[in-house]
Structure 1
Amino acid sequence: MKPGGQQPEGNARLAIIAGRGRLPLDIARAARGNGDNPFIIALEGEASDIPAEFDQARAGLGDAARIFSLLNKNNIDRVVMSGGVNRRPEIGELRPPLRLLRFIPRIIRALSQAGDDKLLRSVISIIEASGCRVVGAQEVVPGLLAQLGSLTNNKPGAKDWDNIAAGCAGANALGALDVGQGAVAVGGRIVALEGAEGTDAMLTRVAELREKGRISANRMGVLVKLCKPQQDERADLPTVGPDTVRNAHAAGLSGIAVDAGRAFILERDLVVEEADRLGLFVVGVDRDNPVAGNPDSPK
């Protein structure tokens, strides 16, 4: 842990439980800019190296006892869960503090039966039972949220809006099953749905289908990423970054549509630069009515 930089006793702090990607660091820097002194708990095997500028420690994915000890020792009153987690902990990895043993049956059921959202809800309830409040990343970095309309100079055409509408229908149905957040539509029909493999792997699969002729090389398509309808928005909001743009281009897509107000755009300037360079659009949409009311949709 980095020495120094501690706030005076009684001045409660924000903790960031960090998984994969750059979002945890974006949140930490934004929090510090708002006058907080964030403490980062990096999940073993998931989080990248955290810069020494931040107070930090590491913990196993299922080691709740260590995580709660860190929350207590560092005077934490708020927690943000941020970044990707590629796997679920095994039951044998679970190490709860004694006072929270009553939660173990619920966690075991969630690990073995539930989708990601139900599991996250269980984790949130356990953290809040420790006396901390779980807050959404959007409360700390609202500027990263996608807004309604196009971010890019490139804008969707009429056929793109057909794909956006189809993709939203597919992503909403998928999300209602607590499976994934993304769908790809080509020619007005769904050709791929996101599962446990994640968005980038789904886009790789679409590119392979094109190479094999299963998807027409002459038809463009759209990636749609939406928050699940029933999702607890304090964790796991959809995220798009420069790699998403590059992978969408490699998959032969014409653009990306995301849930306005409920999806993060990471490295926004680079996303816009890459999308415009590659001829793609990035647009924020209303998940329930993607075409009507969008400033870039056909009138």
Structure 2
Amino acid sequence: MSAQSDIALIAGQGGLPGLVAEAAPGLLVCEMEGTPSEIGTPETLRFRIERLVPFLDSLTDRGIKRVVFAGAIQRPRVDVEMIDPRSAQLVPQLAVAMQTGDDATLRAVIEIFEDFDFEVIGAHDIARDLVPEAGLLLGDPSASERADVERAAAIVADLGRADIGQGAVVSNGLCVAVETLPGTDAMLEFVKHHRALRADLPARSGVFYKAPKPGQDRRADLPTIGVATVRHAAEAGLLGIAFEAGGVMIIERDAVIEAAREAGLFLWARAS
């Protein structure tokens, strides 16, 4: 039995689950039906939210003691006819949380796993090199760009308190866009089209800032930045990307830095 065999990975979409699996060989990969990951195998344990308690029982039977969530998971459509009696007792708790927001939903899910005596750990606790420490990874933002980052950070903090999003774009002190339910890519796509419609905007200006929500449980849904983020930021005509040091994971850091270098963007892990 490997040292990591007591870990279950609840794998969602994107590249993060694969990186976690690489960092902890032998862990048990699990997928919620309707949200397949990129690392699923015939050995992957698949489950339905309607039968959550039997799934948790199966983890216990397999000797699982720690659980890590990684990757984007879509909210499931619940088939009430499939809910087993024990899982039905959890429905009110989950339903209330899902109406409140994503952060509340994640907290409720973590509480359920902990109630079943599992230790919930963060993806960054396994793949520790994913979270950069404070400092410039590439380039050196100007004074005005740093001011835009500070403005964006304040906006993101307010967004997070309302459980809305984890990112914002600011240009010359003005908020151009904020991240909402559709996510970062949709926000940057909006900035791209908005710039094309505004003849008074320079060809390149503005910064993108990303950070966890204040008070967020960082064991799940920690923000991520990848090569696609850099590409979309460049297409949106931005000058750089900044993020909270210790609070954002960089997926494939070397590739992200190289993509930013080619696009002429700075990368800044800003101390909170």
TM > 0.5 fold call: yes
Letter of the aligned partner of 2:143 in structure 1?
A: A
Tell me the residue number matched to 2:12: 19
Contact 1:186 1:219 in 2 (8 A): no
Superposed CA RMSD in Å reads 2.3
Q: How high is the TM-score relative to the length of structure 1?
A: 0.84
Tell me the residue number matched to 2:236: 251
Tell me the residue number matched to 2:249: 264
Letter of the aligned partner of 1:134 in structure 2?
A: V
Deviates more, 1:135-144 or 1:211-220: 211-220
Tell me the residue number matched to 1:44: 33
Q: CA deviation at 1:47?
A: 3.1
1:247-278 CA distance string (max 9 Å, x none)? 00000101111110111000000000000011
Letter of the aligned partner of 1:196 in structure 2?
A: L
Q: CA deviation at 1:59?
A: 2.6
Contact 1:238 1:264 in 2 (8 A): yes
Contact 1:183 1:225 in 2 (8 A): yes
Question: Tell me, which stretches of 5 or more residues in structure 1 are unaligned?
Answer: 1-6, 288-299
- Secondary structure of 1:151's aligned partner: strand
1:195-240 CA distance string (max 9 Å, x none)? 0000011100110101111871345111100010010111001100
Contact 1:65 1:95 in 2 (8 A): no
Q: CA deviation at 1:42?
A: 2.0
Aligned partner (choices 85, 101, 123) of residue 109 of structure 2: 123
Tell me the residue number matched to 2:119: 133
Alignment of 1:113-262 (within 5 A): 113-152=99-138, 154-213=139-198, 216-262=201-247
Contact 1:12 1:77 in 2 (8 A): no
The answer on 1:88 being equivalent to 2:81 is no
Q: CA deviation at 1:57?
A: 2.2
Aligned partner (choices 51, 64, 87) of residue 52 of structure 2: 64
1:176-213 CA distance string (max 9 Å, x none)? 10111011111112111100000011100110101111
How has the CA–CA distance of structure 1 residues 59 and 93 changed in structure 2, closer, same or farther, with 3 Å as cutoff? farther
- Secondary structure of 2:89's aligned partner: helix
Instruction: Give the whole-Å Cα distance in 2 for the aligned partners of 1:73 and 1:190.
Output: 51
Q: How high is the TM-score relative to the length of structure 2?
A: 0.92
Q: CA deviation at 1:75?
A: 1.4
Contact 1:147 1:284 in 2 (8 A): yes
Contact 2:207 2:238 in 1 (8 A): yes
How has the CA–CA distance of structure 1 residues 194 and 215 changed in structure 2, closer, same or farther, with 3 Å as cutoff? farther
- Equivalenced residues, count: 272
Identity of aligned residues (%): 38
Q: CA deviation at 1:62?
A: 5.0
Tell me the residue number matched to 1:109: 96
Contact 1:258 1:285 in 2 (8 A): yes
Q: CA deviation at 1:91?
A: 4.0
Q: CA deviation at 1:107?
A: 0.9
